[in-house]
């Protein structure tokens, strides 16, 4: 994952919200070389609670299809009290309705899985630099 070495986000905190363990692991592997502090959540309720407790979080990678509370609902709840946090939705389904719903929920961007490490890092870098 050599592409990550060009990004240095040592002072940044990223929350990965992902219910699939292998996807969360892959995201963590891509991000670990950047120096950012990476935290994990497996559902929307956990993500909302985490941001309430850690409002200093810089960016959230939010899976859309989560158990219990989906990513769109969690995004709306988070944006209601943490207006400036960057939320990038991630989905395995690239339907245009997902793009529209992501924008309506308050997501700052949307990436489709599987995503290339370079695309992911470039997208994040637009918000963290």
Mean pLDDT score, 108-114: 88
Half-sphere exposure at residue 29, Cβ-oriented, CA atoms within 13 angstroms: 10
Task: Tell me the CA distances in angstroms from 121 to 47, 75, 104, one per residue in order.
Answer: 21, 21, 24
Checking if the pLDDT of 95 tops 80, the result is no
Min mean pLDDT across 4-13, 43-52, 66-75, 103-112 is at 4-13
Distance of CA 70 to the CA centre of its chain: 13
Look at the alpha carbons of 76, 111, 30, 22 in this order and tell me if their dihedral is positive or negative. Answer: positive
Return the pLDDT at 127. Answer: 94
**Predicted confidence band of residue 1 (pLDDT cuts 50, 70, 90):** very low
Encode pLDDT of 54-74 as tens digits.
999 999 999 998 988 999 999
User: Which residues partner with 62 through β-bridges?
Assistant: 17, 89
With a CB cutoff of 8 Å and minimum separation 6, the contacts of 78 are: 47, 48, 51, 60, 85, 87, 106
C-alpha 91/C-alpha 126 separation (Å) is 19
Mean pLDDT score, 86-96: 82
Checking if the pLDDT of 19 tops 60, the result is yes
Contact 48, 68 (CB under 8 A): no
> Hey, what domains does the chain have and what are their CATH numbers?
10-128 (3.40.50.2300)
């Amino acid at each position: 994952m050599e592409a990550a070495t060009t990004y240095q986000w040592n002072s940044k905190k990223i929350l990965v919200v992902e219910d699939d363990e292998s996807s969360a692991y892959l995201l963590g592997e891509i991000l670990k070389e950047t120096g950012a502090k990476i935290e994990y959540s497996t559902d929307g309720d956990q993500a909302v609670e985490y941001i309430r407790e850690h409002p200093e979080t810089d960016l959230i990678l939010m899976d859309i299809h989560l158990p219990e509370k989906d990513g769109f609902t969690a995004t709306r709840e988070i944006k209601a009290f943490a207006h400036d946090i960057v939320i990038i939705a991630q989905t395995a389904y690239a339907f245009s309705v997902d793009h529209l719903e992501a924008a309506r929920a308050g997501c700052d961007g949307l990436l489709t899985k599987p995503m290339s490490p370079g695309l992911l890092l470039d997208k994040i870098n637009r918000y963290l630099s």
